[in-house]
């Protein structure tokens, strides 16, 4: 019904068509350029619309074409107005000169081959050498600090818990900076006599405890390494007011890795005691918390000085006593975790050992 009603009104359609015809007639008198071109469009069109059109004169044939004119071509925009051509970019042509030298793609002043040759053809530069020297100085400070920390602890026997913790921290830092990754192969560094300055070995506790008594002292514990013969000799020197005693234990070792050796002790050697020509007792000793005066004892043994000197001359000519080392605990292993010309740090089944090369300034 709606469709029928819409179709039955021809007068409305006629009115719309009539109005449209009148509007078209009114606009027919307006120039087309004025209708299409908005106000002030000529001033901004060339900036907003970069598309350009070249106006060329038509010619009848290619043979009658005029000679090329050196003057710039007339350029009009889409509104039909004249526009100046864009200046030619300075980057439209490649430069005739050589590219600048010494510049890399990031704008830096790269030296190229010349700089590579000037710094030594791959050798460390001055900055690299300074960094290496700084690392060497740091390691030297760590070694000196470690030796100073264990000084006066009787090889670690009298070290308290705080001192042991500090020693362990210094040892860990040195092991992390180990300059010799294959210490067993570095025979020039490993060979020689090494003096023990600190240990946490439980096997040496009885000996160190005896050295802590008033009239007995552990003077020296050392280790001699001979890689050519694959032998190790551990030596200990004890002293008291009357004599000096020395004994040693020799062992053979096998190389198990660039940093680990297997050690087997063979025999022990006891040197004849060196009787001191004079007996020098301390003025007093502390025994079980009591201070005991030894001056009367010193006065009573003074007449025996000549007899002691005669005994010393008689014993000094005796050969050393050698005994085999029995038992199942003659084998042990040793892992070298730090090695240089001055210091060696080792860990074994007996504990931690810090040794300094004999003759090193660290022992002064």
pLDDT digits (tens, 9 = 90+) for 270-282: 998 887 766 666 6
Collapsing DSSP to helix, strand or coil, 156 comes out as: coil
Which pLDDT band, with edges at 50, 70 and 90, does 118 fall under?
Answer: very low
- Domain 133-271+320-363, CATH among 3.30.470.20, 3.40.630.10, 2.40.100.20, 2.40.128.280: 2.40.128.280
pLDDT for 318: 80
Domain positions in the chain: 133-271+320-363
Least confident of 110-119, 133-142, 188-197, 253-262: 110-119
Average pLDDT over residues 317-328: 84
- Nearest Cα to 294, choosing from 207, 229, 214, 231? 214
- Lowest mean pLDDT across 92-101, 278-287, 290-299, 328-337: 92-101
Tell me the percentage of the chain whose pLDDT exceeds 70: 56
SS3 190: helix
CA–CA gap between residue 49 and residue 47 (Å, rounded) = 6
**Coil, helix or strand for 218?**
strand
- Rounded Cα–Cα distance for residues 149 and 166 (Å): 8
- Find out whether 103 and 111 touch, Cβ atoms under 8 Å: no
Top-ranked range on mean pLDDT: pick from 99-108, 179-188, 234-243, 304-313: 179-188
pLDDT at 5 over 60: no
For residue 6, the model assigns a pLDDT of 41
Output the pLDDT for position 303: 63
Q: What is the pLDDT of residue 88?
A: 54
CA distances from 196 to 55, 89, 118, 147, 205 (A): 102, 81, 47, 11, 14
The pair of three-digit structure tokens given for residue 66, joined into one six-digit string = 């005029």
Taking residues 259-269, report their average pLDDT: 94
Q: Is the pLDDT of residue 339 over 90?
A: yes
| Least confident window among 23-32, 284-293, 349-358 | 23-32
Q: How far apart are CA 330 and CA 37, in angstroms?
A: 111
Q: What was the pLDDT predicted at 45?
A: 42
Long-range (24+ apart) CB contacts under 8 A made by 247-252 are 247/271, 249/325
Lowest-pLDDT range of 216-220, 254-258, 339-343: 216-220
pLDDT at residue 56 greater than cutoff 60: no
Beta carbons of 119 and 125 less than 8 angstroms apart: yes
Weakest-pLDDT range from 111-115, 129-133, 229-233, 346-350: 111-115
Return the minimum-mean-pLDDT range out of 83-87, 100-104, 273-277: 100-104
Q: Which of 354, 358, 357, 351 is nearest to 145 (CA)?
A: 354
Is residue 29 pLDDT above 70, yes or no?
Answer: no
The per-residue pLDDT for 124 is: 56
List, as one string, the DSSP characters of 221-286. EEEEEETTTTEEEEEEEEE-SSEEEEEEEEEEEEEEETTEEEEEEEEEEEPPPEE-SS----SEEE
Residues contacting residue 169 through CB under 8 Å, at least 6 positions apart: none
Instruction: Dump pLDDT digits (tens) for 120-161.
Output: 455 556 677 777 777 788 999 999 999 999 999 999 999 999
Distances (CA, A) of 239 to 210, 244, 352, 356, 364: 11, 4, 25, 22, 21
* Residue 197 tokens, joined: 């300055």
Which region among 56-65, 68-77, 228-237 has the lowest average model confidence (pLDDT)?
Answer: 56-65
């Amino acid at each position: 019904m709606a469709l029928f009603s819409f179709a039955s009104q021809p007068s409305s359609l006629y009115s719309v068509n009539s109005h449209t015809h009148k509007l078209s007639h009114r606009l027919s008198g307006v120039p087309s350029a004025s209708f299409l071109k908005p106000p002030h469009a000529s001033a901004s069109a060339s900036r907003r619309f970069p598309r350009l059109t070249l106006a060329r004169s038509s010619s009848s044939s290619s043979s009658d074409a005029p000679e090329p004119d050196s003057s710039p071509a007339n350029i009009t925009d889409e509104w039909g107005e004249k526009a100046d051509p864009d200046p030619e970019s300075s980057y439209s042509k490649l430069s005739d000169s050589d590219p600048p030298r010494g510049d890399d793609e990031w704008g830096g002043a790269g030296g190229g081959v010349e700089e590579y040759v000037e710094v030594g053809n791959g050798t460390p530069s001055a900055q690299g050498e300074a960094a290496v020297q700084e690392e060497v100085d740091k390691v030297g400070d760590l070694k000196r600090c470690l030796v100073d920390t264990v000084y006066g602890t009787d090889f670690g026997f009298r070290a308290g818990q705080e001192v042991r913790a500090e020693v362990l921290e210094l040892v860990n830092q040195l092991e992390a900076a180990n300059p010799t990754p294959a210490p067993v192969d570095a025979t020039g560094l490993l060979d020689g006599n090494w003096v023990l300055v600190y240990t946490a070995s439980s096997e040496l506790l009885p000996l160190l405890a005896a050295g802590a008594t008033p009239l007995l002292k552990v003077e020296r514990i050392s280790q001699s390494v001979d890689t050519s013969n694959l032998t190790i000799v551990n030596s200990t020197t004890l002293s008291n007011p009357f004599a000096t005693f020395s004994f040693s234990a020799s062992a053979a070792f096998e190389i198990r890795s660039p940093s680990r050796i297997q050690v087997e002790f063979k025999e022990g050697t006891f040197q004849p005691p060196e009787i001191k020509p004079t007996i020098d007792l301390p003025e007093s000793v502390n025994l079980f918390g009591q201070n005991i005066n030894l001056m009367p004892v010193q006065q009573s043994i003074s007449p025996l000085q000549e007899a002691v000197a005669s005994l010393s001359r008689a014993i000094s000519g005796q050969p050393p006593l050698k005994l085999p080392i029995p038992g199942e605990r003659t084998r042990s292993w040793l892992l070298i975790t730090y090695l240089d010309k001055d210091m060696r740090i080792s860990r074994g089944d007996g504990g931690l050992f810090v040794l300094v090369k004999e003759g090193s300034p660290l022992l002064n």
